[in-house]
Amino acid sequence: MIRYILKRFLMMLPVLLAVSFVVYFLMDLAPGDIVSMMAPQDATEAEIEMMREEMGLGGTLPQRYLRYMVNLLKGDLGDSLSMKRPVKDVFFERFPATLKLAFASIIVAMIISIPLGIAAATNHRSWLDGASMITAMLGLSMPSFWLGLLLIILFSLKLGWFPSGGSSGITSIILPAITLGAGQAGNLTRITRSSMLEVIRQDYLRTARAKGVSENKVIYKHALKNALIPIITIFGSTLGNALGGAVAIETVFSWPGVGRLTVSAINTRDMTLATGCIIMFTIFLTLTMLIVDIAYAYADPRIKAQYSK
């Protein structure tokens, strides 16, 4: 198992190299120049060139990329060109907010999707099954920014129950978590339902029922455990994406996460900040998938045995 984990860590390095290469060169290819955007309107050509040198944007693209990679290998993501501060500091100032929102939305998604998926599977082809699937499709289809604004209008403006945005206090996370969680719940519900449907038809469950095991135990101890693998996979990728920051949600709810930060960095052509944020996102996504793979081992002992080979 340890060997497997180490192997996965080593595999992360070429992934990070590839991501940094693609992002760095794409940012450079994108039209526009951060210096022109940041320079005062009345700056002359000479002043703009001075700014360019000050920001370390002198030299050819390969030279700049090499400088960047040498620093990256030392763990230095460089300084944000627009904020003049280390990218790591800027990223980790905002990351806790993204982490909070990601986990809160996953909790909301699980609270909705697991019971709904199980209810749909155990009442297959009934009105409950139909209602669950319609709910899931609604969650999947509704644009998140639209849902967010609707929730703000209802719960914040009309009812005054929650704040319309910001990140102060426990109440401010509820609406963004529900908005983000609703979209995630749609997918999770469908996966839970189909995974449970496959499992509840298995013979061993019929045997368990015949032995007199209670229905609750049949579903939650025997069936759900065996249906977990696909659910864990979707959970992992959902969490990984949420850690990258949900830009629309963060914008609508003024949530100070890394999604907004990354988009802002791209729009202002802040190459180091944009590249740094995307690299960090890649690291967290890869780590999340590693955790998912480890979770498989505990959900299914047969997989643990494979890791040990």
Stretch that binds other proteins, among 4-12, 186-194, 235-243, 258-266 (CB under 8 A): 258-266
| Minimum CB–partner distance for residue 132 and other proteins (Å) | 10
HEC secondary structure over the chain: CHHHHHHHHHHHHHHHHHHHHHHHHHHHHCCCCHHHHHCCCCCCHHHHHHHHHHCCCCCCHHHHHHHHHHHHHCCCCCECCCCCCEHHHHHHHHHHHHHHHHHHHHHHHHHHHHHHHHHHHHCCCCHHHHHHHHHHHHHHHCCHHHHHHHHHHHHHHHCCCCCCCCCCCHHHHHHHHHHHHHHHHHHHHHHHHHHHHHHHCCHHHHHHHHCCCCHHHHHHHHHHHHHHHHHHHHHHHHHHHHHCCCHHHHHHCCCCCHHHHHHHHHHCCCHHHHHHHHHHHHHHHHHHHHHHHHHHHHHCHHHHHHHHC
Separation in Å, CA 208 to CA 44, 117, 226: 81, 21, 14
96 binds other proteins (CB under 8 A): no
36 binds other proteins (CB under 8 A): yes
260 binds other proteins (CB under 8 A): yes
Tokens describing residue 161: 């129950």
164 binds other proteins (CB under 8 A): yes
Stretch that binds other proteins, among 6-14, 46-54, 60-68, 232-240 (CB under 8 A): 46-54
Cα–Cα distance for residue pair 46/51, rounded to 1 Å: 9
Number of residues that bind other proteins (CB under 8 A): 69
Rule CB under 8 A: which of 133-152 touch other proteins?
149, 152
Cα–Cα distance for residue pair 309/229, rounded to 1 Å: 20
Stretch that binds other proteins, among 17-25, 44-52, 63-71, 183-191 (CB under 8 A): 44-52
Single out the residue of 11, 63, 166, 298 in contact with other proteins (rule: CB under 8 A): 166
Single out the residue of 23, 97, 234, 246 in contact with other proteins (rule: CB under 8 A): 97
Single out the residue of 20, 113, 167, 272 in contact with other proteins (rule: CB under 8 A): 167
203 binds other proteins (CB under 8 A): no
| Minimum CB–partner distance for residue 27 and other proteins (Å) | 11
Nearer to other proteins, 206 or 215 (CB): 215
| Minimum CB–partner distance for residue 34 and other proteins (Å) | 8
Nearer to other proteins, 41 or 141 (CB): 41
Single out the residue of 8, 28, 33, 129 in contact with other proteins (rule: CB under 8 A): 33
Interacting residue ranges for other proteins, rule: CB under 8 A: 30-34, 36-45, 47-48, 50-51, 54, 82-84, 90, 93-94, 97, 111-112, 115, 118-119, 122-123, 128, 149, 152-153, 156-157, 160-169, 171-172, 174, 215-216, 219, 251-257, 260-261, 264, 267-269
